[in-house]
A and B are shown apart, each in its own frame.
Chain A
Amino acid sequence: MLLGASGSKAGLTVDLEVATDPTKTGDAGVPHGNELLAFATAANRRSDVLPQARAALAAVVGHEGLVEAAATVAIFNGLVRVADGTGIQLDPSMLTSTAETRAALGIDLFSGAANSQDAPTQPRQDAAGVMGMFS
Protein backbone atom coordinates (compact mmCIF):
# COMPACT_ATOMS: atom_id res chain seq x y z
CA MET A 1 0.00 0.00 0.00
CA LEU A 2 3.02 2.26 -0.26
CA LEU A 3 2.20 2.75 -3.92
CA GLY A 4 -0.32 5.48 -3.19
CA ALA A 5 1.92 7.30 -0.72
CA SER A 6 5.05 7.14 -2.86
CA GLY A 7 3.05 8.14 -5.93
CA SER A 8 1.70 11.21 -4.15
CA LYS A 9 5.18 12.10 -2.99
CA ALA A 10 6.33 11.96 -6.62
CA GLY A 11 3.40 14.05 -7.81
CA LEU A 12 1.77 11.13 -9.62
CA THR A 13 -1.91 10.28 -9.78
CA VAL A 14 -1.73 6.53 -9.26
CA ASP A 15 -4.61 4.32 -10.32
CA LEU A 16 -4.65 1.53 -7.72
CA GLU A 17 -7.30 -0.42 -9.61
CA VAL A 18 -5.08 -0.71 -12.67
CA ALA A 19 -2.15 -1.60 -10.41
CA THR A 20 -3.93 -4.51 -8.76
CA ASP A 21 -6.39 -5.70 -11.39
CA PRO A 22 -4.77 -7.46 -14.38
CA THR A 23 -7.99 -7.21 -16.38
CA LYS A 24 -7.56 -3.45 -16.53
CA THR A 25 -5.17 -1.80 -18.94
CA GLY A 26 -2.92 1.21 -18.62
CA ASP A 27 0.21 2.35 -16.84
CA ALA A 28 -1.53 3.03 -13.51
CA GLY A 29 -0.12 6.55 -13.67
CA VAL A 30 3.45 5.38 -13.08
CA PRO A 31 6.29 5.94 -15.59
CA HIS A 32 6.81 2.76 -17.64
CA GLY A 33 3.87 1.26 -15.77
CA ASN A 34 2.73 -0.75 -18.78
CA GLU A 35 6.07 -2.56 -19.00
CA LEU A 36 6.37 -3.01 -15.24
CA LEU A 37 2.89 -4.48 -14.91
CA ALA A 38 3.34 -6.77 -17.91
CA PHE A 39 6.61 -8.03 -16.46
CA ALA A 40 5.18 -8.59 -12.96
CA THR A 41 2.13 -10.41 -14.31
CA ALA A 42 4.14 -12.63 -16.65
CA ALA A 43 6.66 -13.47 -13.93
CA ASN A 44 4.09 -14.37 -11.30
CA ARG A 45 2.13 -16.50 -13.74
CA ARG A 46 5.32 -18.09 -15.10
CA SER A 47 4.00 -17.16 -18.49
CA ASP A 48 5.61 -18.00 -21.81
CA VAL A 49 5.58 -14.29 -22.64
CA LEU A 50 8.05 -13.48 -19.87
CA PRO A 51 11.06 -13.19 -22.23
CA GLN A 52 9.26 -10.56 -24.28
CA ALA A 53 8.08 -8.74 -21.15
CA ARG A 54 11.62 -8.84 -19.75
CA ALA A 55 13.10 -7.43 -22.95
CA ALA A 56 10.45 -4.71 -23.17
CA LEU A 57 11.08 -3.67 -19.57
CA ALA A 58 14.86 -3.68 -19.94
CA ALA A 59 14.50 -1.50 -23.03
CA VAL A 60 12.89 1.28 -21.00
CA VAL A 61 14.47 0.96 -17.52
CA GLY A 62 17.82 -0.68 -18.34
CA HIS A 63 19.47 -3.72 -16.82
CA GLU A 64 19.66 -2.30 -13.30
CA GLY A 65 16.00 -1.42 -13.42
CA LEU A 66 15.18 -4.93 -14.59
CA VAL A 67 17.15 -6.36 -11.67
CA GLU A 68 15.21 -4.17 -9.23
CA ALA A 69 11.91 -5.29 -10.74
CA ALA A 70 12.93 -8.96 -10.59
CA ALA A 71 14.05 -8.52 -6.99
CA THR A 72 10.70 -6.96 -6.10
CA VAL A 73 8.68 -9.76 -7.68
CA ALA A 74 10.89 -12.31 -5.95
CA ILE A 75 10.85 -10.84 -2.45
CA PHE A 76 7.09 -10.33 -2.47
CA ASN A 77 6.66 -13.97 -3.44
CA GLY A 78 8.50 -14.72 -0.21
CA LEU A 79 6.72 -12.08 1.88
CA VAL A 80 3.34 -13.44 0.87
CA ARG A 81 4.31 -16.93 2.02
CA VAL A 82 5.80 -15.75 5.29
CA ALA A 83 2.78 -13.55 6.07
CA ASP A 84 0.19 -16.16 5.17
CA GLY A 85 2.16 -19.11 6.60
CA THR A 86 2.68 -17.53 10.00
CA GLY A 87 -0.78 -15.93 10.14
CA ILE A 88 0.43 -12.48 11.09
CA GLN A 89 -2.06 -9.71 11.59
CA LEU A 90 -2.03 -6.47 9.68
CA ASP A 91 -0.22 -3.87 11.76
CA PRO A 92 -2.41 -1.34 13.58
CA SER A 93 -1.38 1.63 11.48
CA MET A 94 -1.88 -0.30 8.24
CA LEU A 95 -5.23 -1.69 9.39
CA THR A 96 -6.65 1.77 9.93
CA SER A 97 -4.91 3.72 7.17
CA THR A 98 -5.76 1.28 4.38
CA ALA A 99 -9.35 0.42 5.33
CA GLU A 100 -11.02 2.35 2.50
CA THR A 101 -8.55 1.20 -0.13
CA ARG A 102 -8.82 -2.45 0.89
CA ALA A 103 -12.58 -2.32 0.70
CA ALA A 104 -12.58 -0.55 -2.65
CA LEU A 105 -10.14 -2.98 -4.25
CA GLY A 106 -11.75 -6.11 -2.79
CA ILE A 107 -8.66 -6.97 -0.77
CA ASP A 108 -10.79 -7.59 2.33
CA LEU A 109 -12.24 -10.57 0.49
CA PHE A 110 -8.89 -12.38 0.45
CA SER A 111 -8.76 -15.36 2.82
CA GLY A 112 -5.88 -13.88 4.77
CA ALA A 113 -8.13 -11.08 5.97
CA ALA A 114 -9.47 -13.48 8.59
CA ASN A 115 -6.16 -13.24 10.47
CA SER A 116 -6.71 -9.56 11.18
CA GLN A 117 -10.38 -9.63 12.19
CA ASP A 118 -9.53 -9.19 15.86
CA ALA A 119 -6.32 -7.27 15.37
CA PRO A 120 -5.71 -4.20 17.52
CA THR A 121 -6.06 -0.83 15.83
CA GLN A 122 -4.19 1.25 18.39
CA PRO A 123 -0.67 2.21 17.28
CA ARG A 124 2.20 0.49 19.01
CA GLN A 125 4.55 2.50 21.20
CA ASP A 126 7.07 2.98 18.41
CA ALA A 127 4.48 4.88 16.35
CA ALA A 128 6.66 4.30 13.29
CA GLY A 129 3.58 3.12 11.45
CA VAL A 130 3.79 1.73 7.96
CA MET A 131 7.22 3.20 7.34
CA GLY A 132 8.67 1.27 10.26
CA MET A 133 7.90 -2.09 8.73
CA PHE A 134 11.31 -2.95 7.31
CA SER A 135 13.60 -0.21 8.51
Chain B
Amino acid sequence: MGNAEELITAALDDAAESLVGPGDWLTGSQRRAAALEARDARTNELDQQRRDALSPNAVPGGHEATAELQAEAVEVIHRVASDPGRLTQVWADEKMTVLGEETYTELVGIAACTAVLDMFAWTMTGDDSQLGDDTAGSPAKERPDDVGDVGAWVSQTTGTGMANVSRSLSLVPVTNRAWVGLVQALYSRGAEFLDLSWDRALSRPQVELVAARTTAELECFY
Protein backbone atom coordinates (compact mmCIF):
# COMPACT_ATOMS: atom_id res chain seq x y z
CA MET B 1 0.00 0.00 0.00
CA GLY B 2 1.51 3.34 -1.02
CA ASN B 3 1.66 6.49 1.06
CA ALA B 4 -1.40 8.02 -0.54
CA GLU B 5 -3.48 4.91 0.01
CA GLU B 6 -2.35 4.74 3.64
CA LEU B 7 -3.31 8.38 4.13
CA ILE B 8 -6.71 7.83 2.56
CA THR B 9 -7.38 4.64 4.51
CA ALA B 10 -6.50 6.32 7.81
CA ALA B 11 -8.85 9.24 7.14
CA LEU B 12 -11.66 6.90 6.13
CA ASP B 13 -11.14 4.89 9.32
CA ASP B 14 -11.20 8.06 11.44
CA ALA B 15 -14.39 9.25 9.77
CA ALA B 16 -16.05 5.85 10.22
CA GLU B 17 -15.17 5.93 13.90
CA SER B 18 -16.53 9.46 14.21
CA LEU B 19 -19.81 8.46 12.56
CA VAL B 20 -20.62 6.05 15.39
CA GLY B 21 -19.19 8.08 18.27
CA PRO B 22 -20.57 11.01 20.28
CA GLY B 23 -20.82 14.06 18.07
CA ASP B 24 -21.64 17.71 18.46
CA TRP B 25 -25.29 17.53 19.46
CA LEU B 26 -26.09 13.89 18.67
CA THR B 27 -25.05 10.71 20.47
CA GLY B 28 -23.12 7.90 18.84
CA SER B 29 -26.25 5.83 18.43
CA GLN B 30 -28.08 8.76 16.83
CA ARG B 31 -25.18 9.43 14.47
CA ARG B 32 -24.96 5.79 13.52
CA ALA B 33 -28.71 5.72 12.90
CA ALA B 34 -28.41 8.83 10.75
CA ALA B 35 -25.60 7.25 8.72
CA LEU B 36 -27.75 4.20 8.10
CA GLU B 37 -30.62 6.44 6.98
CA ALA B 38 -28.24 8.14 4.55
CA ARG B 39 -27.35 4.77 3.15
CA ASP B 40 -31.02 3.78 2.93
CA ALA B 41 -31.77 6.90 0.91
CA ARG B 42 -30.15 5.33 -2.14
CA THR B 43 -32.94 2.78 -2.47
CA ASN B 44 -35.76 4.27 -0.38
CA GLU B 45 -39.04 4.35 -2.30
CA LEU B 46 -40.13 7.81 -1.16
CA ASP B 47 -36.73 9.27 -2.02
CA GLN B 48 -36.90 7.59 -5.41
CA GLN B 49 -40.33 9.09 -6.08
CA ARG B 50 -39.07 12.53 -5.06
CA ARG B 51 -36.01 12.24 -7.31
CA ASP B 52 -38.22 11.28 -10.24
CA ALA B 53 -40.70 14.11 -9.66
CA LEU B 54 -40.41 17.52 -11.32
CA SER B 55 -40.25 18.93 -7.80
CA PRO B 56 -39.61 16.89 -4.65
CA ASN B 57 -42.38 18.89 -2.99
CA ALA B 58 -44.89 17.40 -5.43
CA VAL B 59 -44.68 14.01 -3.72
CA PRO B 60 -46.96 13.69 -0.69
CA GLY B 61 -45.84 12.12 2.55
CA GLY B 62 -42.65 12.24 4.54
CA HIS B 63 -40.21 10.15 6.50
CA GLU B 64 -41.27 9.11 9.97
CA ALA B 65 -39.38 9.35 13.21
CA THR B 66 -37.28 6.40 14.29
CA ALA B 67 -36.28 5.17 17.72
CA GLU B 68 -33.20 7.40 17.53
CA LEU B 69 -34.17 10.33 15.32
CA GLN B 70 -36.96 12.89 15.01
CA ALA B 71 -38.92 12.85 11.76
CA GLU B 72 -37.34 16.14 10.71
CA ALA B 73 -33.87 14.70 11.25
CA VAL B 74 -34.72 11.70 9.10
CA GLU B 75 -36.04 14.08 6.42
CA VAL B 76 -32.83 16.10 6.45
CA ILE B 77 -30.63 13.04 6.13
CA HIS B 78 -32.70 11.54 3.31
CA ARG B 79 -32.94 14.75 1.28
CA VAL B 80 -29.28 15.68 1.64
CA ALA B 81 -28.24 12.13 0.80
CA SER B 82 -30.59 11.53 -2.11
CA ASP B 83 -31.33 14.85 -3.81
CA PRO B 84 -28.90 17.55 -2.61
CA GLY B 85 -29.09 19.62 -5.77
CA ARG B 86 -32.71 20.61 -5.18
CA LEU B 87 -32.56 21.68 -1.56
CA THR B 88 -33.83 25.19 -0.86
CA GLN B 89 -33.28 27.68 1.93
CA VAL B 90 -37.00 27.66 2.75
CA TRP B 91 -36.85 23.90 3.28
CA ALA B 92 -33.67 24.15 5.36
CA ASP B 93 -35.10 26.95 7.50
CA GLU B 94 -38.16 24.82 8.24
CA LYS B 95 -35.99 21.95 9.43
CA MET B 96 -33.71 24.22 11.46
CA THR B 97 -36.71 25.74 13.22
CA VAL B 98 -37.42 22.29 14.64
CA LEU B 99 -33.93 20.81 14.96
CA GLY B 100 -31.80 23.90 15.55
CA GLU B 101 -29.13 24.93 13.09
CA GLU B 102 -26.39 23.04 14.92
CA THR B 103 -28.14 19.66 14.68
CA TYR B 104 -29.19 20.40 11.10
CA THR B 105 -25.56 21.11 10.20
CA GLU B 106 -24.34 17.99 11.98
CA LEU B 107 -26.82 15.91 9.98
CA VAL B 108 -25.56 17.43 6.74
CA GLY B 109 -22.05 16.46 7.79
CA ILE B 110 -23.10 12.91 8.60
CA ALA B 111 -24.80 12.55 5.22
CA ALA B 112 -21.67 13.87 3.51
CA CYS B 113 -19.22 11.66 5.41
CA THR B 114 -21.40 8.61 4.82
CA ALA B 115 -21.50 9.40 1.11
CA VAL B 116 -17.71 9.59 1.02
CA LEU B 117 -17.17 6.35 2.91
CA ASP B 118 -19.75 4.38 0.97
CA MET B 119 -18.75 5.76 -2.42
CA PHE B 120 -15.08 4.99 -1.89
CA ALA B 121 -15.91 1.45 -0.76
CA TRP B 122 -18.31 0.99 -3.67
CA THR B 123 -15.86 2.20 -6.29
CA MET B 124 -13.09 -0.05 -4.99
CA THR B 125 -15.00 -3.17 -3.94
CA GLY B 126 -18.64 -2.91 -4.98
CA ASP B 127 -19.78 -2.98 -1.34
CA ASP B 128 -20.74 -0.41 1.29
CA SER B 129 -18.25 0.66 3.92
CA GLN B 130 -18.27 -1.03 7.32
CA LEU B 131 -19.97 0.84 10.17
CA GLY B 132 -19.00 -0.31 13.65
CA ASP B 133 -21.17 -0.41 16.73
CA ASP B 134 -21.95 2.93 18.30
CA THR B 135 -19.81 4.10 21.19
CA ALA B 136 -21.12 5.61 24.41
CA GLY B 137 -20.55 9.16 25.51
CA SER B 138 -22.16 12.57 25.55
CA PRO B 139 -22.22 15.00 22.63
CA ALA B 140 -19.83 17.95 22.96
CA LYS B 141 -22.68 20.51 22.74
CA GLU B 142 -20.18 23.22 21.88
CA ARG B 143 -21.16 26.16 19.71
CA PRO B 144 -18.00 27.98 18.60
CA ASP B 145 -17.76 31.67 19.51
CA ASP B 146 -16.50 32.81 16.13
CA VAL B 147 -19.44 31.78 13.96
CA GLY B 148 -22.01 34.01 12.29
CA ASP B 149 -23.78 34.86 9.06
CA VAL B 150 -21.43 34.72 6.07
CA GLY B 151 -24.15 34.27 3.48
CA ALA B 152 -24.83 30.55 3.87
CA TRP B 153 -27.95 28.94 5.30
CA VAL B 154 -26.11 28.05 8.52
CA SER B 155 -23.68 29.99 10.68
CA GLN B 156 -20.01 29.57 9.84
CA THR B 157 -16.63 30.88 10.92
CA THR B 158 -16.62 34.60 10.25
CA GLY B 159 -12.92 35.13 9.57
CA THR B 160 -12.10 36.48 6.13
CA GLY B 161 -9.33 34.06 5.29
CA MET B 162 -11.34 30.92 4.61
CA ALA B 163 -13.17 29.83 1.49
CA ASN B 164 -16.84 29.05 1.98
CA VAL B 165 -16.47 25.34 1.36
CA SER B 166 -13.63 25.12 3.88
CA ARG B 167 -15.76 26.55 6.68
CA SER B 168 -19.10 25.02 5.72
CA LEU B 169 -19.29 22.72 8.78
CA SER B 170 -17.38 24.97 11.19
CA LEU B 171 -20.52 25.31 13.34
CA VAL B 172 -20.09 21.68 14.43
CA PRO B 173 -16.40 21.12 15.37
CA VAL B 174 -16.55 17.39 16.07
CA THR B 175 -18.19 16.62 12.74
CA ASN B 176 -15.98 19.16 11.01
CA ARG B 177 -12.77 17.46 12.20
CA ALA B 178 -13.73 14.19 10.50
CA TRP B 179 -14.91 16.04 7.41
CA VAL B 180 -11.78 18.14 7.02
CA GLY B 181 -9.69 15.01 7.55
CA LEU B 182 -11.43 13.40 4.62
CA VAL B 183 -11.02 16.43 2.36
CA GLN B 184 -7.34 16.72 3.19
CA ALA B 185 -6.55 13.04 2.65
CA LEU B 186 -8.72 12.32 -0.35
CA TYR B 187 -8.16 15.55 -2.27
CA SER B 188 -6.35 18.66 -1.10
CA ARG B 189 -3.41 17.43 1.06
CA GLY B 190 -2.45 20.80 2.49
CA ALA B 191 -0.15 22.93 0.42
CA GLU B 192 -0.22 20.34 -2.39
CA PHE B 193 -3.57 21.81 -3.35
CA LEU B 194 -1.78 24.93 -4.55
CA ASP B 195 0.32 22.91 -6.99
CA LEU B 196 -1.43 22.58 -10.35
CA SER B 197 1.15 20.04 -11.48
CA TRP B 198 1.40 17.90 -8.35
CA ASP B 199 3.28 14.60 -8.33
CA ARG B 200 0.64 11.95 -7.65
CA ALA B 201 -0.36 8.71 -9.31
CA LEU B 202 -2.92 10.81 -11.19
CA SER B 203 -1.91 14.19 -12.55
CA ARG B 204 -3.82 17.29 -11.46
CA PRO B 205 -5.83 17.50 -14.72
CA GLN B 206 -6.74 13.80 -14.37
CA VAL B 207 -8.04 14.33 -10.83
CA GLU B 208 -9.91 17.48 -11.84
CA LEU B 209 -11.45 15.64 -14.79
CA VAL B 210 -12.92 13.05 -12.42
CA ALA B 211 -14.08 15.86 -10.13
CA ALA B 212 -15.71 17.74 -13.02
CA ARG B 213 -17.66 14.70 -14.20
CA THR B 214 -18.73 13.86 -10.64
CA THR B 215 -20.06 17.32 -9.85
CA ALA B 216 -21.81 17.42 -13.23
CA GLU B 217 -23.47 14.06 -12.55
CA LEU B 218 -24.66 15.44 -9.21
CA GLU B 219 -25.65 18.82 -10.70
CA CYS B 220 -23.68 20.77 -8.15
CA PHE B 221 -23.36 24.51 -8.83
CA TYR B 222 -20.62 25.05 -6.28
Contacts and interface: CB of A to CB of B under 8 A. Distances in A.
Interface of A: 1-3, 5-7, 9-10, 12, 14, 16, 19-22, 28, 30-33, 36-37, 39-41, 43-46, 50-51, 54, 61-62, 64-91, 102, 107-108, 110-116, 118-120, 124-126, 128, 131-135
Given A70-B124, A72-B211, A74-B186, A133 B216 contact: no
A84 B208 contact: no
Given A2-B208, A77-B119, A115-B89, A22 B213 contact: yes
Interface stretch (B18-26, B63-71, B136-144, B190-198): B190-198
Interface of B: 2, 4-5, 8, 42, 80-81, 84-89, 92, 105, 108-109, 111-113, 115-117, 119-120, 122-124, 126, 151-154, 156, 160-166, 168-169, 179, 182-188, 190-191, 193-194, 196-197, 200-222
Contacts of B162: 126
A67 B222 CA distance: 24
26 contacts: A19-B213, A30-B205, A32-B206, A36-B210, A36-B213, A40-B214, A41-B213, A50-B126, A64-B201, A71-B185, A72-B202, A79-B165, A79-B215, A80-B85, A81-B80, A82-B108, A84-B220, A86-B168, A88-B152, A90-B221, A102-B221, A108-B221, A111-B87, A115-B222, A124-B161, A135-B190
Contact of A6 (B117, B164, B208): B208
Nearest to A48: B126
Contact of A135 (B105, B111, B193, B214): B193
Given A84-B222, A85-B80, A30 B206 contact: yes
Chain A CB count within 10 A is highest, among B84, B182, B200, for B84
A24 B194 CA distance: 30
Contacts of B151: 88-89, 118-120
Main secondary structure of the interface of B (DSSP, over half): helix
Given A61-B206, A78-B113, A79-B215, 6 more contacts: A19-B209, A36-B202, A68-B202, A80-B215, A110-B221, A115-B153
A51 B111 CA distance: 25
Contact of B179 (A30, A62, A74, A82): A82
A112 B216 CA distance: 12
Contacts of B84: 80-81, 84-85
Contacts of A5: 196
